[in-house]
Structure 1
Amino acid sequence: MTDDVLLTSRDSGVLTLTLNRPHRKNALNGELWDALREQFTVARDDDEVRALVIAGAGGAFCAGADLSGGVATGHPLDRMRKVNEIALLLHELPIPVVAKVDGVAVGAGWNLALGCDMVVATPGSRFSQIFAKRGLSLDFGGSWLLPKLVGLQQAKRLALLAEMIDATEAHRLGLVTWVVEAEEIDGFVADLGKRLAAAAPVAIRQSKALLNEGADSTLPAALAGEARAQSVNFATADTRAAFAAFNEKREPEFTGEWALG
């Protein structure tokens, strides 16, 4: 456990981070921002971590930035630089990241979920780009994420009207990967995390990077990146393990070990 505001647990290569300010619907204050930065760095640098799950405690995912204390002191650009660094840390994590959403995910809290690679939500979950109703504009990567995920017109609808939408609508728009009953979501996410953690780590990391880069690249550049990535994959023990397992009709065990030399 990092501290009381962010609970951490590990199981079979999966690191789970649980936002733990249920009395504020897990709204992000300075302490929680710092804890997220610390644990995103751990997830990036620890080779034993092969998948990350982000969840919320107490029937909410995250109500965005905590505004209960009024306007914070210090220059806004300095505060936003800190927020932006954490958003970039999340986006650049090489491992797969799953958001487990039960309850509200609004503002920066929704963009925290959208910054993950997959989003699992319960039918009762609700989502809003609440910023406009607070006299604010998008942050935590929302202006970049939304148009890529839903297109420009739907992104403007969500941002400018700040509507609250349900999980069914979020799934229809492609902002939620799966909608799972509340009593089933724990098992669903646990199984998903184990499947991701059991995958070939070097290949999975490269596929994630290729997809992220491909969103802003040309086809020739994407193909060149794929060629480089496959060359790296063939130099690991995982490719040989997969071929052997296929021939022997069993599941492979992946380590990501370098196999040249």
Structure 2
Amino acid sequence: MSTAIETDVLTTRDGPLGIVTINRPQRLNAVTPAAGEQLRAAFIELDADPDIRAIVLTGAGRGFCAGADIVGGTVGGARGVLIDVWNPLVTTMLSTDVPIIAAINGVAAGAGVSLALACDLRVAAQSARLQLAFTKIGLLPDAGATWLLPRIVGLGRANELALLARDLKADEALQWGLVNRVCEDGNALDAAKALGSEIAELAGSVAAVKWAHQRAFDSTLAAQLGYEADTQGWLQEQPDFTEAIKAFREKRSAHRAPRTPGLRP
């Protein structure tokens, strides 16, 4: 079943997968403030659906996302749009229980790179490129890019990409660890859905792994060790663990418990 949220963002449910498509191919899927709000609403809706276990984000046509659509200017300027639209969008993506996979089917530029970075996994088509050209126009990467990029690829490579306004091809992005898979052109969505299907077969603790990894960079070792111990104790009380132990003893596959949105230790 497919549902369109107006015209700029499409959501599709494919079994346990939610597919979110930026649907502005005539603008290489550059995101207007209205489209940004629709994207955030789509992630919130899918994350609240207990039948959804992974979300795939992609773009219609030949591009993933060309960043913010600034044709005609923006009310309040860049600062206002970031505070009102992009920052809440990226925060929502990072806080979902359900892992998000980017299917980078073409160019990702500017804040479009930020959207890819805010996903938990990234698949890129062979001809896809990632561009952070802000220093060519006197600005800096935004929508979370300066926080996410160094954490994913390290400070040195983050500086190379953003300071030098590099145009990074898919194969090099794979070498850097910026993307997790590179596939043939036209197959990015299918490859991302395949990863999503793998996640859908796993226990609900995938959400706990996402939470733990996100907090690790701002945590001390002692605090993280305590968090792991507390969360592990909580997970052992959840139905997935009980069923996994029972299935192991009975030498069969485990039956996954329904996902409970928003359930955290």
Q: Does 1:11 align with 2:30?
A: no
SS in 2 for 1:239: helix
SS in 2 for 1:179: strand
Does the 8 Å contact 2:101/2:123 carry over to 1? yes
Cα distance in 2 for residues equivalent to 1:62 and 1:44: 22
Does the 8 Å contact 2:104/2:188 carry over to 1? no
Identical aligned pairs, as a percentage?
37
Calculate the TM-score normalised by the size of structure 2: 0.91
Cα distance in 2 for residues equivalent to 1:245 and 1:105: 43
CA displacement at 1:247 relative to structure 2: 2.9
SS in 2 for 1:199: coil
Alignment partner, residue 150 of structure 1: 153
Q: Say how many residue pairs are matched.
A: 256
- Report the AA paired with residue 164 of structure 2: L
Does the 8 Å contact 1:12/1:197 carry over to 2? no
Alignment partner, residue 235 of structure 2: 233
SS in 2 for 1:7: strand
SS in 2 for 1:187: helix
Q: Does 1:78 align with 2:80?
A: yes
Q: Which among 44, 53, 57 is matched to residue 50 of structure 1?
A: 53
Long gaps (5+) in structure 1: none
Q: Which among 176, 195, 210 is matched to residue 212 of structure 2?
A: 210
The equivalences for 1:137-216 within 5 A come to 137-201=140-204, 203-216=205-218
Over residues 161-190 of structure 1, what are the superposed CA-to-partner deviations in whole Å (9 max), with x where a residue is unaligned?
A: 111110011111110011111254343222
Q: Which runs of 4+ in 1 moved over 4 A?
A: none
Calculate the TM-score normalised by the size of structure 1: 0.92
Alignment partner, residue 110 of structure 1: 113
Cα distance in 2 for residues equivalent to 1:149 and 1:73: 32
Does the 8 Å contact 1:237/1:257 carry over to 2? no
Over residues 125-160 of structure 1, what are the superposed CA-to-partner deviations in whole Å (9 max), with x where a residue is unaligned?
A: 011112222332111101101111122222122112
- Report the AA paired with residue 55 of structure 1: T
- Report the AA paired with residue 195 of structure 1: E
Alignment partner, residue 100 of structure 2: 97
- Report the AA paired with residue 209 of structure 2: S
SS in 1 for 2:136: helix
Q: Which among 207, 220, 223 is matched to residue 225 of structure 2?
A: 223
Alignment partner, residue 137 of structure 2: 134
Q: Which moved more, 1:187-196 or 1:165-174?
A: 187-196
SS in 2 for 1:61: strand
Alignment partner, residue 64 of structure 1: 67
CA displacement at 1:74 relative to structure 2: 2.2
Does the 8 Å contact 2:50/2:259 carry over to 1? no
- Report the AA paired with residue 117 of structure 1: D
Q: Which moved more, 1:247-256 or 1:113-122?
A: 247-256
Cα distance in 1 for residues equivalent to 2:233 and 2:122: 31
Q: Does 1:33 align with 2:7?
A: no
CA displacement at 1:104 relative to structure 2: 0.1
Q: Which moved more, 1:29-38 or 1:112-121?
A: 29-38
Does the C-alpha gap of structure 1 residues 224 and 177 become closer, same or farther in structure 2, counting only changes over 3 Å?
A: same
SS in 1 for 2:123: strand
Does the 8 Å contact 2:25/2:61 carry over to 1? yes
- Report the AA paired with residue 120 of structure 1: V
Alignment partner, residue 25 of structure 2: 22
RMSD over aligned CA atoms reads 1.7
Alignment partner, residue 247 of structure 2: 245
- Report the AA paired with residue 209 of structure 1: W
Does the C-alpha gap of structure 1 residues 159 and 231 become closer, same or farther in structure 2, counting only changes over 3 Å?
A: same
